[in-house]
């Protein structure tokens, strides 16, 4: 069974705005999926459809085999959601908040206490566990909201910009937690972000969305093959013979663009056989950012 599926999923709001247009994709368990797109692309609408908060205009979707439009309670029990503005109680401590939300999910008190302690520790909130939420900083709230989403051991986790307000150390902790959950517990992560560099650090698969349409999806390698095959080869060499396809970009530095790695040995051979001396050869593949910009023109809205 796939963890998440979307089949021709579309959503038109009552005012006529078509926010999601015929998106189809499927995710395996344990995948860390980066759903990437600029502001207003349709990411939140898609997540709301997957959570049963909105009903599709066309098509359908499933989370762990359940259609969220038909069985929202099953989907809620199996999933956790972290948004920027999670509702929690300011007059309760972090620990009390976690135990309260665990009880809503039907987790017994002993289990929720144990689970809350582990999560507070993993998210560097051990001491903050006994502090009222009203005294928390934005980053602490964000981490507590992550703990809240995980308190009932969800099988699917929806995240919206999970590290945007966090300092580098806290962001690393959250990233480690996400990776471990996916790898060790098979939790499927659906992560919405417009920070491409961050996504490339953590995701195993990507979907690029713009104006409600899925522009491309796949692993980084699949996207590279589909969208921007090849690599820029940089060579540091001396006495390079004339007549090669190499472009001189600095002292002893040359560059060329290749379609496939098979071209590298021939380039190297030509230089060596022509009397050149090679000191280093590196192939630089397109980043997620390069791929995104090759697909879209809206560079100003995305990092
Ligand atoms: N309730 C609503 N009624 C009408 N239009 C809406 C509603 N919610 C969102 N939209 C519109 O649908 C489009 C997609 O919005 P959505 O919030 O899904 O984008 P997003 O990719 O999550 O953006 P962001 O990165 O800013 O959170 C936008 O044009 C938005 O204005």
The secondary structure of residue 66, as a DSSP letter, is B
Nearest CA to ligand 1 atom 12: 19
Task: From residue 174, give the alpha-carbon distance in Å to each of 119, 144, 166, 169, 209.
Answer: 11, 11, 9, 9, 24
Task: Count CB neighbours of 216 within 10 A.
Answer: 17
| Cα gap 72→67, rounded to integer Å | 7
Whole-number Å distance, alpha carbon 40 to ligand 1 midpoint, is 5
Q: What is the pLDDT of residue 242?
A: 87
Nearest CA to ligand 1 atom 2: 13
**Which segments of the chain have a pLDDT < 50?**
299-303
| Cα gap 173→139, rounded to integer Å | 12
CB of 39 shorter than 6 A to ligand 1: yes
Nearest CA to ligand 1 atom 7: 13
Q: Which segments of the chain are extended strands (E)?
A: 4-12, 18-27, 32-36, 58-63, 79-82, 156-160, 188-193, 205-210, 213-218, 231-238, 247-250, 253-258, 277-284
Q: What is the pLDDT of residue 297?
A: 62
3-state secondary structure at position 36: strand
Name the token pair of 36: 């990437």
232 bridge partner residues: 257, 284
pTM of the prediction?
0.87
Residue 163's Cβ-side half-sphere holds a number of Cα atoms within 13 Å equal to 21
Q: What is the pLDDT of residue 300?
A: 46
CB of 43 shorter than 6 A to ligand 1: yes
Nearest CA to ligand 1 atom 25: 39
Q: What is the pLDDT of residue 166?
A: 85
Q: Which segments of 55-131 are extended strands (E)?
A: 58-63, 79-82
Best residue among 11, 21, 45, 46 to mutate for probing ligand 1's pocket (most ligand atoms within 8 Å of CB) is 45
| Cα gap 208→290, rounded to integer Å | 12
Task: Find the Cα–Cα–Cα–Cα dihedral 243, 249, 254, 260, rounded to 10°.
Answer: -100
Name the token pair of 14: 């009552």
For the chain, the C-alpha Rg in angstroms (whole number) is: 24
Task: From residue 165, give the alpha-carbon distance in Å to each of 26, 86, 174.
Answer: 30, 14, 12
Nearest CA to ligand 1 atom 10: 19
Whole-number Å distance, alpha carbon 193 to ligand 1 midpoint, is 14
Identify which of 70, 72, 59 has the alpha carbon closest to the alpha carbon of residue 24: 59
Which helix (H) or strand (E) is 75 found in, with range? Answer: helix 72-78
């Amino acid at each position: 069974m796939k963890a998440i599926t979307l089949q021709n999923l579309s959503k038109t709001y009552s005012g006529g705005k078509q926010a999601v247009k015929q998106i189809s994709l499927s995710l395996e368990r344990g995948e860390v999926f980066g759903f990437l797109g600029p502001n207003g692309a349709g990411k939140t609408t898609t997540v709301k459809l997957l959570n049963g908060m909105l009903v599709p205009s066309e098509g359908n979707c499933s989370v762990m085999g359940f259609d969220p439009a038909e069985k929202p309670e099953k989907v809620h029990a199996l999933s956790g959601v972290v948004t920027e503005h999670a509702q929690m109680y300011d007059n309760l401590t972090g620990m009390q908040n976690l135990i309260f939300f665990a009880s809503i999910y039907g987790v017994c008190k002993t289990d929720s206490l144990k689970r809350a302690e582990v999560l507070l520790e993993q998210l560097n909130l051990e001491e903050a566990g006994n502090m009222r939420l009203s005294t928390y900083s934005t980053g602490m709230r964000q981490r507590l909201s992550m703990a809240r989403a995980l308190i009932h051991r969800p099988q699917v986790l929806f995240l919206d910009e999970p590290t945007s307000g966090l300092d580098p150390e806290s962001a690393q902790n959250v990233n480690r937690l996400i990776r471990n959950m996916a790898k060790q517990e098979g939790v499927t992560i659906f992560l919405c972000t417009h920070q491409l560099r961050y996504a490339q650090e953590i995701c195993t698969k990507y979907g690029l969305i713009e104006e409600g349409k899925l522009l491309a999806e796949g692993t980084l390698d699949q996207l590279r093959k589909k969208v921007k095959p090849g690599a820029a080869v940089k060579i540091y060499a001396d006495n390079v013979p004339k007549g090669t396809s190499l472009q001189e970009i600095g002292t002893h530095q040359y560059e060329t663009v290749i379609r496939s790695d098979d071209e590298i040995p021939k380039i190297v051979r030509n230089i060596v056989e022509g009397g050149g001396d090679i000191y280093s050869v590196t192939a630089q593949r397109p980043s997620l950012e390069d791929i995104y910009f090759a697909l879209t023109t809206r560079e100003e809205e995305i990092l």
